[in-house]
Amino acid sequence: MLMQPYNAVLQRLESKGRLRSLKVPRGTDFSSNDYLALAGSEYLRNTACEALVRGVPVGSGGSRLLRGNHPEHEALEAEAAAFFKASQVLYFASGFDANQAVFATLPQAGDLVLYDALIHASIHAGMQAGKAKTQSVPHNDIAAYEAAIRQFRTTEKSGNIWLAVESLYSMDGDRAPLAELSALADRYGCFFYIDEAHATGVFGADGRGLAADFAGRDNVLILHTCGKALGASGALLCAAKPLIDVLVNRARGFIFSTAPSPLQAAIVRGSLKTLAAEPQRREKLQALIRHAEQNLQPSGSQIIPFTVGDNQRAVAMAEAMQNHGFDIRAIRPPTVPLGTARLRISITLNIDEAQISRMAEVLKQIANSYE
């Protein structure tokens, strides 16, 4: 009896083709976010070993407001602020933690958060826990943003407006119109929040992301995650000092969580040094992206969606690709909109041109067999 409602949930998910399970990676990497192949690199292994030798602990032992605030955290935040040209940086354990903390804490009652329809689930989690009004905007629709801002200002004379986007969307691989949105934020006095999760390390001078030109402005907050191109874990929130200070004092997910591993902080410091010192990684990745675009529908980035539509068909095609030695996963609702189940193909430095060409050839054969 106790398990009945949970078994019913699993049965409903299975009937819709949305039941998920954990799988150990196998085959050539076409699914990870390890874009620069840093996660398993000798450089980061040596960085970790050197940090351990000089006494950096694996665990922090407490929250950062207690004894968990290690010099490695502060060194990382200072170096990240200089690297990303930010006023202030706060290190979180993950991008999810950071997004949840920001949107549960900073937008106030009477504020309005206008968010792109394809925004990360972590921002949804923060908005649900927060007090501000929220409104979805059609994907990359500047006119819809402006109309929503004007409508809010006609009815509400006070309250801040927050615009929330990803600079590079994680499931479609396309970019937000950052320049237009920044101009809109400046014109109407809005905060502008940019999640750079999939752009950090891959785009911009020294890998500083697509939003690098907007860094350091009082109304702009930029999130750089460390578990993707940087090859480690955690997230770096770049924002004005008063906003960072409010998070330190009010963000429950920050205050009541054990601080991130000081060892991870040391590793991220190494990752940032690599971005500046090894531009050839980004250059090689861009060459692989160009090669992939000759074989697949281009997205303009290292994330290439192959839309299937039907959930079960997407799962079957992904399993077929895995059986051919290509680690490609099916992405289904609610991660993506209904009717847009897809294979998400990720281009990283863990693969080469020959593997991309072979993968594209097999994918076309499998897709044709399901028509």
Q: Give the catalytic positions in this structure.
A: 33, 120, 166, 170, 195, 198, 228
Torsion of CA 260, 266, 268, 269, to 10 degrees: 140
- Listed in sequence order, the residues at least 6 apart from 327 whose beta carbon sits closer than 8 Å to its beta carbon are 25, 26, 27, 28, 29, 30, 31, 32
Kindly provide the b/e burial profile for residues 264-299, where b requires at least 16 CB atoms within 10 angstroms of the residue's own CB.
bbbbbbbbbebbeeeeebbeebeebbebbbebbeeb
Nearest to 72 by CA among 102, 61, 105, 223: 61
Contact 32, 40 (CB under 8 A): no
CA–CA dist 36, 327 (Å, integer): 17
- Listed in sequence order, the residues at least 6 apart from 51 whose beta carbon sits closer than 8 Å to its beta carbon are 72, 263, 266, 267
Contact 311, 18 (CB under 8 A): yes
Strand partners, 309: 341
Contact 122, 146 (CB under 8 A): no
**DSSP per residue over 247-281, as a string?**
HHHH-HHHHTSPPPPHHHHHHHHHHHHHHHH-HHH
Beta strands in 16-157 (DSSP E): 28-29, 88-92, 112-116, 133-137
Beta-strand relationship, 133-137 and 112-116: parallel
Sheet-wide strand order for 341-346: 303-309, 341-346, 329-331
CA–CA dist 57, 214 (Å, integer): 35
Q: Which amino acid is located at 293 in the chain?
A: E
